[in-house]
Structure 1
Amino acid sequence: MLTTQSIVTFAEYLDNAAKSNTCYELVQGNLVPMTPATFLHTWIAKFLERLFDQQIMTHSYSWVTYRETVGLRIGTNTVRLPDVVVAPLSAVENLKMNSSVIQSAVPLVVETISPSLIHENYQAKLQDYQSINVQEYWIVNPLELNKVSIYKGQDNNYQLTIFEQNQPIQSQVFPELKVTPNQIFAASAQGC
């Protein structure tokens, strides 16, 4: 069994994931144990997964949505486990018997802020997702009164737009989406 002290390769990470009951991210070769999410965190992810699934079905996009279980490979020895990821079907079709780590670009990723990971979500994960050309990175922040920050890829750079309260969220990945931060948090308060 690997320890959190040794440098881990991507292949060792996949092998460890198949044998371990603990969920880890791999960050620059270091195993980072993931703690169980709060209920609020889980409700937000579930609500957004359902919302994105509706958009995918309505508009016949060739995408699939995953919540809290699928990793994204970033570079040589980093794997992130986003709260929600929208992936092209083509990226996962041939991976049925493999560990669920996507190794190609995806249109959208969502992370919900936890008090202990504020810097990680706004700095390190932002850079990681930008480096693999994630089109849109959402940061849902229940710590700052119903605030959703969306980083949209444009000319190899992210442009930030912050949506608050009843402001309609504008998504370039889902242009027909109709939701506000208040709706996201109201749904989460009801357990989705």
Structure 2
Amino acid sequence: MSKEVKNILIVGVGGQGTLLTSRIIAQVAVQMGYDVKISEVHGMAQRGGSVVSQVRYGEKVYSPIIKKGDADVILGFEKIEAARWLSYLKPEGILIVNDERIDPLPVMSGKARYPDDIIDKMKGLVPSTLVVNASDIALKCGDIKVANVVLVGVLSKVMELPIEEVEKAIIAIVPPKYVDLNIKAFHEGLKLV
């Protein structure tokens, strides 16, 4: 067991499954014998607002909060949300971002413009950027709602989480009738790295 605390910041908008994802990752860490702390900020989640989950695990974790510059990984479910939180990533950290665009209210109202080159800008700032189209893969699995678990697969590969522990966590957290679909999405995510 590593003594080093690992910090994962999960960002997206309401309805994308960020909270379920944080619970799966936390469950994996508990199963592996780590101390785990989670912090969740829902904001206006039901209205498509920003949702942020922080998962910290290690031999001993004293706080659920990730400080700026301390995240080992940012798991971004939407491009603008990923860009918004980049200051929390370690210089050698990894950005995993779903190539999904969900227009925030200022863009929908015409008061702002969604940046066309946001992925290129993030890649310029973070050398270790993985861009995946989790939403398309989820649709091929049978339901766009499992895009979050496709991203769990990518994260698991990057963080070297044991496949069998992630599968056990999915079985423990996801409602039984959706387990097979989520396991399939998880394995599709593993193939992307």
Structure 1-normalised TM-score?
0.40
The structure where strand makes up a greater share of residues is 1
Query: RCO higher in 1 or 2 (8 Å CA, sep ≥ 6)?
Result: 2
TM-score by length of structure 2 reads 0.40
Q: Looking at secondary structure, tell me which structure has more helix per residue.
A: 2
